[in-house]
Amino acid sequence: MPVLSVENITKHFGAVEALKGVTFSVERGEVVALVGDNGAGKSTLVKIISGVYQPSGGAFYLNDTPCIFPNPAAAMAAGIETVYQHLALIEQLDVADNIYLGRELWRGGALGKLFGWMDRATMRRETAQALSGLHIKIPAPTLPVRMMSGGQRQAVAIGRALLWGRELLILDEPTAALGVEETEQVLEMIEKLRAERGISFLVISHNMQDVYRIADKIVVLRQGRHVKTLNKSETSPQDIVAYITGAKE
Ligand SMILES: Nc1ncnc2c1ncn2[C@@H]1O[C@H](COP(=O)(O)OP(=O)(O)O)[C@@H](O)[C@H]1O
Ligand SMILES: [Mg+2]
Sign of the CA dihedral running 45, 75, 111, 122: negative
- The one-letter amino acid at 62: L
CA distance 29 to 32: 10
The pLDDT of residue 182: 82
CB of residue 51 inside a 6 A radius of ligand 1: no
**Interval 210-227 mean pLDDT:** 95
Based on the fold, state whether residues 2 and 58 are members of the same structural domain: yes
Q: Give the tens place of pLDDT for each residue, 29-51.
A: 999 999 999 999 999 999 999 99
Structural domain for 240, as ranges: 1-79+168-181+197-249
The pTM for the full model equals 0.88
CB of residue 13 inside a 6 A radius of ligand 1: yes
Based on the fold, state whether residues 240 and 219 are members of the same structural domain: yes
CB of residue 18 inside a 6 A radius of ligand 1: yes
Based on the fold, state whether residues 221 and 113 are members of the same structural domain: no
Number of domains in the chain: 2
Q: Give the tens place of pLDDT for each residue, 14-26.
A: 999 999 999 999 9
The pLDDT of residue 180: 86
Based on the fold, state whether residues 176 and 158 are members of the same structural domain: no
Based on the fold, state whether residues 172 and 243 are members of the same structural domain: yes
User: Considering the chain, what percentage of its residues have pLDDT values greater than 90?
Assistant: 51
CA distance 1 to 123: 34
| pLDDT of 190 higher than 90 | no
218 or 117, greater pLDDT = 218
The pLDDT of residue 136: 64
If pLDDT is split at 50, 70 and 90, which confidence band does 86 have? low
Per the CB < 8 A criterion, the answer to whether 204 and 244 are in contact is: no
Q: Which residue's alpha carbon is nearest to atom 27 within ligand 1?
A: 39
Q: Give the tens place of pLDDT for each residue, 175-185.
A: 887 888 888 88
Distance 38 CA to ligand 2 centre (A): 7
Distance 247 CA to ligand 2 centre (A): 22
Q: Are strands 65-66 and 80-83 parallel, antiparallel or unpaired?
A: unpaired
59 or 209, greater pLDDT = 59
> Phi/psi at 5 (nearest 5 deg)?
-130, 120
134 or 54, greater pLDDT = 54
* Closest CA relative to residue 173, chosen from 84, 240, 244: 84
Per the CB < 8 A criterion, the answer to whether 49 and 170 are in contact is: yes
Distance 61 CA to ligand 2 centre (A): 22
129 or 236, greater pLDDT = 236
> Do the domain assignments include residue 187?
no
Distance 44 CA to ligand 1 centre (A): 6
Q: Give the tens place of pLDDT for each residue, 108-154.
A: 877 888 878 888 888 888 888 877 777 667 778 888 888 888 878 88
For the chain, where are the E strands, in sequence order? 4-13, 16-26, 31-35, 57-62, 65-66, 80-83, 168-172, 200-204, 217-222, 225-231
| pLDDT of 103 higher than 90 | no
Question: For position 174, which CATH number holds?
Answer: 3.40.50.300
CA distance 83 to 113: 27
Distance 159 CA to ligand 1 centre (A): 28
Based on the fold, state whether residues 224 and 112 are members of the same structural domain: no
Mean pLDDT of the chain: 89
Based on the fold, state whether residues 93 and 64 are members of the same structural domain: no
The pLDDT of residue 117: 84
CB of residue 244 inside a 6 A radius of ligand 1: no
In sequence order, which residues have a C-beta less than 8 Å from that of residue 194 and are 6 or more positions away?
A: 29, 30, 31, 201
> Do the domain assignments include residue 190?
no
Q: Which ligand is nearest to the CA of 38?
A: 1
Based on the fold, state whether residues 27 and 126 are members of the same structural domain: no
The pLDDT of residue 204: 95
Q: Which residue's alpha carbon is nearest to atom 8 within ligand 1?
A: 44
| pLDDT of 95 higher than 80 | yes
| pLDDT of 163 higher than 90 | no
| pLDDT of 87 higher than 70 | no
